[in-house]
Amino acid sequence: MQNVHERRIQTSLPLAAVGSALIDNLAGRGDVLWPRDRWPPMFFDRPLGVGASGGHGPLRYFVEDYRPQQSIRFRFTAPRGFVGTHSFDVEEAAPGVVCVRHTLAMSLEGTARLSWPLLFCWLHDALIEDALDRAQAHCQASPVGLSNWPLHVRVLRRAARYLR
């Protein structure tokens, strides 16, 4: 299974500055990509680099590949049955236009065959769109409105609060 979200953003910022802000600062003090104001924060056990282990919410992963200012790929370690990776990439799409992409490439095993389509996929898609909104706001130096989550995402988020 593959799930790809991408946003093409017009910006006057150099590609290296965009990549540094969005990729190199993930889970750090200067993180402008991860929507921690609306979702569980991303964290790691050490500074960002290959082998750093962490996650967000119930998901756990480690940094499998990291190319500063360009891309980062994480390999899942939990929940059970999520077998694969997710990644962020920043590249030039055209002069003055960057493409920010999140790719989820995984297979599902066991109960994940049910938990992904019924729960995780809806939350994942909403979280990633929120992250892309933040990337756009950073690159364009202008406010971007918060995404309106579909009703089923709001219901799932509310239910998740009661399960803690």
Domain ranges across the chain: 2-163
**Distances from the Cα of 115 to the Cαs of 27, 62, 110, 139, in angstroms?**
26, 21, 9, 34
Confidence of residue 142 (pLDDT cuts 50, 70, 90): confident
Tell me if 33 sits within 8 A of 27, measured CB to CB: no
Six token digits for residue 64: 């499998």
Paired residues of 54 in beta bridges: 44, 61
pTM given for the model? 0.92
Mean pLDDT of the 79-90 span: 98
Q: What is the pLDDT of residue 83?
A: 98
Please give the Cα distance from 155 to 65 (Å, whole number): 35
The SS3 call for residue 99 is strand
CATH of domain 2-163: 3.30.530.20
